[in-house]
Structure 1
Amino acid sequence: MIVRIVPVHRFYGSSLVIRQQISEQVRQLILAQRISAEIREVPESASLTYDLGLDSLQLASLIAAIKEKIADMEFTPWYVDSGRNGQDTVGGLVDYIAERVVRTPADTVADQS
């Protein structure tokens, strides 16, 4: 299986479309980790640690792959918050990324002033 990752900065369209693209890329990266032969699909409700069984090294490897292929950003706040709340879900990770890469025209104007 060939996984084609498109950098987030090349996405066009609404934030929902961008979120869907990020979700697909994150899921492909999780499957590429080959955590278990039993895992065939990755639902957004799945916990990275409990449901998918990622240990700390696998999670660090996944985050490094996301930083390299999707969005180079800091993931420590997400990891600390989601780990503390037991909500380290695929969807939560996708939301975290999407909220930081999807910028509205108002955000862009505010940054320029």
Structure 2
Amino acid sequence: MIKEITNTDYKETIAATPAGVCIVFKELCPHCKNMEKVLEKFGQLMPAAVLLGLDIQKNPDAAKALGAERAPTVCVIKDGAVRRTKTGLMNPKELLALYQMG
């Protein structure tokens, strides 16, 4: 399950996340919907990873702070900080590889 974060709570949420992934998305973006499905499959492969989501249109300040200029962007979180970001579509194996590099 993907927990949505906002401009108000993103700093605290990420700081409290030992390991996870955040997808920066737009509500009506078809690529973002595909990446949400990929994130859910990733969550099955890595059940200990925290899954977060951030709407770039509703939370532009948080998106900018995370280094996301457009959607979909995936941010890998390790030890309470964003370690890697990648924009665009990925499959679950590519997301897993990005996560493991982080």
Q: If you compute each CA radius of gyration, which structure gives the higher value, 1 or 2? A: 1
Structure number with higher helix proportion: 1
TM-score of the pair, normalised by structure 1: 0.27
